[in-house]
Amino acid sequence: MNKIILTGDRPTGRLHLGHYVGSLKRRVELQNSGDYDKIYIMIADAQALTDNADNPEKVRQNIIEVALDYLSCGIDPTKSVIFIQSQVPQLCELSFYYMNLVSVSRLQRNPTVKSEIQMRKFEGSIPVGFFTYPISQAADITAFNATTVPAGEDQEPMLEQAREIVRRFNNAYGNTLIEPEILLPENSACLRLPGTDGKAKMSKSLGNCIYLSDSEEDVRKRVMAMYTDPEHLRLEDPGKVEGNTVFTYLEAFCRSEHFIAYLPEYANLDELKGHYRRGGLGDVKVKKFLNAVLQEELTPIRACRKEFEKNIPDVYRILKEGSEIAREVAASTLSNVRKAMHIDYFEDNDLIQSQSFNYGKAR
């Protein structure tokens, strides 16, 4: 069986460190590993519209931002197909058929959608499109026969839902769709990177992000203002590293060579944590170290982005070509789906013949 990746992001803003550690960095590694037969990366504009129907301009403007973030992190359009969801109308048709395989109560149980509804204060008036986006995501994944979806932990319920749809479809109509697997980050700090304010998730919607394209100064300011241990007031106080965002980010980003370069008095993160716990280590020192680590990661990305920003029409061309390829692949899956569901009437000679026979007999 071919190994195929499908993954993507909503164009509701530029991409941030959460996207980077949760999925984007991994995608680049997987792309360059050569282990995958095909890689599809989708800018989910149609999904972004499900909770931004009154602000389509925001979605429209952010498509290029997400594309620039992809390219500057190393997504290579000669190796991966980057496309825009709305340019592949076959995905809507697949969703329409999959909707018959999912109950309303099943959708209501999805914990990610539940918390997103709360966050967006949608309780009384949930847009139908938003409520059903897990089904549309199943269409996105299965349209490309994806086996693997590299994503953050919040996507687990979506993958579960997609697998259920695949099983129900294959049971009802015969083996047609591939059951996908989620590929979570190996490092547990990256499963759901917290915001700089210490809130559970760095998220565009919460305004607690460090963006991949932030300037060096903006990153430094964000880091210096980050949430730590509120009870660690004086240098000599013992501090907590659990739930301390600066340490969570260090777990996500720092490697032993960073200590050699920027903080040689400690051999590794465990030693740094030990000192913080005992007391005598100030937040500023740890934050300065984190800033150095992040700047090392982000400087090449920033520089690469500047280059792509010089040729915006070229980026749109990449998206157009990717969308054309995506359309062909999705059309082929849709054709298999229609055949399996026996709604390919005009290609179905058996149907036409048996109906002719029935009517012939009746006469």
The site for ligand ATP (CB under 6 A) is made up of: 9-10, 12, 18-19, 22-23, 151-152, 154-155, 192-193, 201-205
8 Å CB contact between 170 and 115? no
Q: Number of helices (H) and strands (E), helices first, in the chain?
A: 17, 5
8 Å CB contact between 77 and 322? yes
> Nearest approach, Cβ of 260 to ligand ATP (angstroms)?
28
8 Å CB contact between 305 and 69? yes
> Nearest approach, Cβ of 221 to ligand ATP (angstroms)?
20
In the complex with ligand ATP, the residue whose CB is nearer, 19 or 273, is 19
Dist CA 224 CA 287 (whole Å) = 6
Exposure b/e, 202-237, CB count within 10 A at least 16 = b: bbbeeebbbbbbbeeeebbebbeebbbbeebeeeee
> Nearest approach, Cβ of 40 to ligand ATP (angstroms)?
14
In the complex with ligand ATP, the residue whose CB is nearer, 142 or 232, is 142
In the complex with ligand ATP, the residue whose CB is nearer, 55 or 256, is 55
207: nearest Cα among 218, 199, 216: 199
| Residue whose CB is nearest to ligand ATP in the complex, by number | 22
In the complex with ligand ATP, the residue whose CB is nearer, 113 or 330, is 113
8 Å CB contact between 83 and 326? yes
> Nearest approach, Cβ of 67 to ligand ATP (angstroms)?
14
> Nearest approach, Cβ of 76 to ligand ATP (angstroms)?
19
> Nearest approach, Cβ of 192 to ligand ATP (angstroms)?
5
Alpha carbon 26 to chain centroid distance?
11
In the complex with ligand ATP, the residue whose CB is nearer, 9 or 45, is 9
Q: How many CB atoms lie within 10 A of CB 181?
A: 13
In the complex with ligand ATP, the residue whose CB is nearer, 21 or 101, is 21
In the complex with ligand ATP, the residue whose CB is nearer, 204 or 258, is 204
DSSP bridge partners of 4: 38
> Nearest approach, Cβ of 171 to ligand ATP (angstroms)?
28
Listed in sequence order, the residues at least 6 apart from 173 whose beta carbon sits closer than 8 Å to its beta carbon are 337, 340, 341, 342
